[in-house]
Amino acid sequence: MAGPTVQSRLARRSIVMSEDGALVAQLRAALPEGWSLVQANDLSEIGGFAEILQHRFILLDLDATAAFDPLEVIRQARSGMMLNIAIICFGGSPERREAARLARADRFFERGEIAGRLAAFCEQFGW
What pLDDT, in 10s, does the model give residues 89-102? 999 999 999 999 99
Percentage of the chain lying above the pLDDT 90 cut: 83
What pLDDT shows up at residue 7?
74
Q: What is the rounded average pLDDT of the residues 45-67?
A: 93
With beta carbons less than 8 A apart as the criterion, state whether 12 and 36 touch.
Answer: yes
5 contact partners, CB below 8 Å, separation of at least 6: none
Residue 44 falls within a domain, yes or no? yes
Residue 99 falls within a domain, yes or no? yes
- Nearest of 23, 50, 51, 24 to residue 39 by alpha carbon: 24
Residue 115 falls within a domain, yes or no? yes
Hey, which residues does 86 pair with through a beta bridge? Answer: 57
Residue 91 falls within a domain, yes or no? yes
Global pTM exceeds 0.85: yes
* Structural domain of 64: 6-124
Q: What Å distances lie between residue 82 and 21, 25, 75, CA to CA?
A: 29, 30, 9
Q: What is the CATH number of the domain that holds 77?
A: 3.40.50.2300
Q: What Å distances lie between residue 43 and 38, 60, 91, 110, CA to CA?
A: 11, 11, 20, 23
